[in-house]
Amino acid sequence: MNALSTCQGRYEEGEHIRLLLQQSVNADRADWCVTHLEKEVFSGSIPVVQCRQELTLPSLPAGGYGIEVKLYQKGRFQIKRNTAVNVGGQIVRYGFLCDFTEKESDAVSALAEYHITHVQFYDWSWRHDSLIAPQDEYQDMMGKHNSLAVIRQRIADCRRRGMLAMAYGAVYAASREFHGAHPDWGLYGAGGQPLVFINTFYYMDIDSPWRDHLIREYLKAVTVAGFDGVHMDTYGEPKTAFAQNGEKRRLEEGFPALIRDVYAAMKSSGIQPHLIFNNVGTWPAEKTRACPQDAVYMELWPPMDRYRHLRAAIQKAGNHPVVLAAYPAAFRTDTPDRALSSQLLLSFAIAVQGASQLFIGEKNAAVTQGYYADYTRLTEEQTIRIHDYEDFFVRYGDLLYDRSLEDVTYTHFGGDNAEYRMDAPCSADGDPGRIWIIIRENTNRKLIGFVNLCGVQDAYWNTGKDRPVPQHHLVLHVLVDQEPDAVWYASPDQESGRPVQLKYTVSLHPYGLEISCEIPSLFYCGMVWIG
């Protein structure tokens, strides 16, 4: 539990902001301040009467906010704590749950501390073809024990903490028994053999009566179990297959209609639909991205395992909210310190390009592979640092997730491009040994992100990393139409994420005005914004 944490993953407009303060300095007063980007929104002071106390702040308009609390004892400053809150908005911050046996658990409150908005209930169902079990206690198809009573409790916990509960449901998987009873609903290879995933899940044809059966099961997940929506999973294979009668199926052509049909079925049943569809390896995001869903969700696997592939994936989503299921394998395969370094670099690179990442779940755990139940528990140090970064992403959410900002890195930086320059070794593609620069802008604002890969040995986002070599006195040059009011810098590694106003100089350039500013230090990551 953080010393200062949010009680909900997301708050609604008009809802009071509830925070949990835990302190051991015997403070008697807490001064609090709410900020939006570089501006203070309002502040106040309240008495502290308990070591564990809930603080209630006024409601806020939609947006991301930083919260700073200073503790005092008899007028003397003791310590400062920070967090962030997410109010309204359309940003999807996805987490997971997969343990459904213990009735008493603080896993959901732990997810709220990471500002999760949607929770995937992974492998909650009895069978992929029959989601609701005939009894309360049961084993799923992988042998994991589940309790429907616990699942319903977790759903209620999510709802109480401002998070949507999403029922995992594969779009084309069925048990051997179900496939045997409906062989004409199955998918087959060119040789007429049934298609099976890990010798357990039989692929089904979404252009057969399986489609209506699946939609009915999805509706049961919402109406009977109580979920808010459905996570429509795919395995990324096959791309093409055959019906039992030999008709060819191109699955990318059938997925969009299936998503729309599920949405329509929920809507017609009086349900507010919440859907997320898994585009494995980004396939076929170009086909599905315009479908009614909460975000374009893409699960990344090799060969999309270099830093440059993050940009390629995000751009496939078009102008839609994006979630990357980028699983940090280093938490399972490498040392705790190298795993943490890798995740900090990865998460910032994803956020500064306008997307969010699914990797956190249960109680301070990371998913490192396709089977979520084999998660890795974070260490205390990892938990603290990752909280810092997730707070930062929420605090600056209205900047990072502004979809009017266009990525202009390739066209405005490097080579003959004069719009942005930096007096340091930089890369537009996340090359090792350099600072990875990511530039987004619109007509009113410029956002420049920096990911420090100096001292990093490779460009793979899913491998462990040594701590980058800190860089100092970095000079950034930017062409502007007019002199800006201010230039700001912020980093989750410095000043508790607070914005620092940078001094700048102005000079004439053949193409207009050029401002130059110095970033004093870059440890892991940071960003500059202008306008």
Amino acid at the residue 129: D
Residue with token string 């959410």: 397
Cα–Cα distances in angstroms (integers) from residue 188 to residues 185, 243, 247, 248, 487, in the given order: 10, 6, 10, 9, 59
Q: What is the pLDDT of residues 239-263, one digit of tens each?
A: 999 999 999 999 999 999 999 999 9
Long-range contacts of 281-284 (CB under 8 A, 24+ apart): 281/236, 282/312, 282/313, 282/316, 283/236, 283/239, 283/252, 284/251, 284/252, 284/255
Structure confidence at residue 26 as a pLDDT band (50, 70, 90): confident
Question: Any idea where the domains of the chain sit in the sequence?
Answer: 4-87, 406-530
Distance CA 345, CA 492 (A): 11
d(CA 178, CA 201): 10
Confidence of residue 90 (pLDDT cuts 50, 70, 90): confident
Task: Return the bridge partners of 502, or none.
Answer: 487
pLDDT digits (tens, 9 = 90+) for 460-515: 999 999 999 999 999 999 999 999 999 999 999 999 999 999 999 999 999 989 99
Burial class (CB in 10 A: 0-12, 13-18, 19+), 483: exposed
Structure-token pair, residue 354 = 């306008």
**Sequence-ordered list of residues with C-beta below 8 angstroms from that of 341, at least 6 positions apart, any chain:** 464, 465, 466, 467, 468, 524
Domain 406-530 in the same topology as domain 4-87: yes
104 pLDDT tier (thresholds 50, 70, 90): confident
pLDDT digits (tens, 9 = 90+) for 355-400: 999 999 999 999 999 999 999 999 999 999 999 999 999 999 999 9
Architecture of the CATH domain 406-530 = Sandwich (2.60)
**What's the N-to-C CA distance of the chain in angstroms?**
36
| Predicted local confidence at residue 49, as pLDDT | 81
What CATH fold (topology level) applies to the domain 4-87?
Immunoglobulin-like (2.60.40)
* Beta-sheet strand order (sheet of 196-197): 173-174, 201-203, 196-197
Question: β-pairing, 426-427 with 435-441?
Answer: parallel
pLDDT(77) > 50: yes
